[in-house]
Amino acid sequence: MAEAEKRHPVTIEINGTRRTFEVESRKLLVHLIRDDLGLTGTHIGCDTSQCGACTVEVDGLATKSCTVLAVMADGASITTIEGVSPAGSALDPVQTAFHEHHALQCGFCTPGMIMSARQLLRAHPDPGHDDIRHGIAGNICRCTGYQNIVRAIESLVAKG
């Protein structure tokens, strides 16, 4: 068996639940999330880590899950879009702001964009307009022209 196909045990905490998997050496974290866990809110939009559609939180830090091998996530705590507002709970303020400001159209980039927006607001409590545009530059949106995404994030800054 090729090294790439060798399997390794990986234990992660995913949206608050601890899970263990046997994964191939070559498996990316995004594939573990989508295929093994069935959490399809995390999307794949490219193959060069450019688009940010696969952004999740790894130990509280927004991370493109296509840049991490699943084995590297062993022991990590991961939050995906499904864990941002679990069933029955209220939407996260970022999610609400995206709705209020029409910050999504096709919705494909939205989960990753929300993860990056949350990261921005955690790392930078009072970002200006340019800080916001720079802060989400790792995520490509092809529909909105970004303007309403920026507005949505700004609305959260204004609220303090």
Partner 1 sequence: MNATVLHYIGKPLKRREDFKFLTGKGRYVDDIKLPGVLHMAIARSPHAHAIIRNVDLGAAKAAPGVRLALAGRDLEGKIGPIVPNWIMPGTKVPFRPVVAIDRVRFVGECVALVVAETLAQAYDAVGLIDVDYEVLPAVVDEEAAIAADAPQLHDNVPGNITTIYKVRGGDYAKAAVDADQVVKLRVVNNRLIPTCMETRSVVAHPDPDGTLTVYMPSQVPHMHRRWIAETVGIPEHLLRVVAPDIGGGFGAKMHLYPEELLCPHLARELGAPVKWWESRSESHQSTSHGRAHTENIEVAIKNDGTILGLKVETLGNVGAYLSNMASGGPTVNTVNFGTGNYRIANYEATSRVVVTNTVPVDAYRGYGRPEGAYIAERAIDVVARHLNLDQVEIRRKNFIQPADFPYRPYGGMAVIYDSGNYQGLLDKALAAFNYDARRNERETLRRNGIYRGIGVAAYTHMCGMAPSRRLASIGFDRGGWESARVAIDSSGRATVYSGSMSQGHGHVTSLSQIAADVLQIPIENIDVIQGDTRQVQAGHGTFNSRSMAVGGSSLHVCSQRIIAKAKKIAAGMLEVDERDVTYAAGQFSVPGTDIAPLTFGKVARMAYVGHKLPDGVAPGLDETEFYDPIGMSAPSGVHLAYVEVDPETGIVDIIDYVAVDDVGTLINPLLAAGQIHGGVVQGIAQALYEEVSYDPDNGQLLTGSLLDYAVPRAEHVPDITSLFQETPSPTNPIGVKGIGESGSIAAPPCMVHAVLDALSPFGIRHLDMPLTPPRIWAAVQNARNGAGQ
Q: Which chain residues interact with partner 1 by CB under 8 A?
A: 5, 24, 26, 34-35, 38-48, 50-51, 53, 80-82, 84-85, 91, 95, 98-100, 102, 104-111, 114, 130, 132-134, 136-150
How are the residues of the chain apportioned to helix, strand and coil, as percentages rounded to the nearest 5? 40, 20, 45
Closest approach, Cβ 61 to partner 1, in A, equals: 19
With respect to partner 1, which residue has the nearer C-beta, 75 or 91?
Answer: 91
144 three-state secondary structure: coil
Closest approach, Cβ 157 to partner 1, in A, equals: 15
Closest approach, Cβ 94 to partner 1, in A, equals: 9
Give the integer Cα–Cα distance in Å for 158 and 41: 28
For residue 8, give both structure tokens.
């390794």
Whose structure tokens read 């450019």?
A: 50
With respect to partner 1, which residue has the nearer C-beta, 44 or 75?
Answer: 44
With respect to partner 1, which residue has the nearer C-beta, 38 or 125?
Answer: 38
Give the integer Cα–Cα distance in Å for 110 and 149: 9
Cβ–Cβ < 8 Å for 37, 29? no
Closest approach, Cβ 145 to partner 1, in A, equals: 3
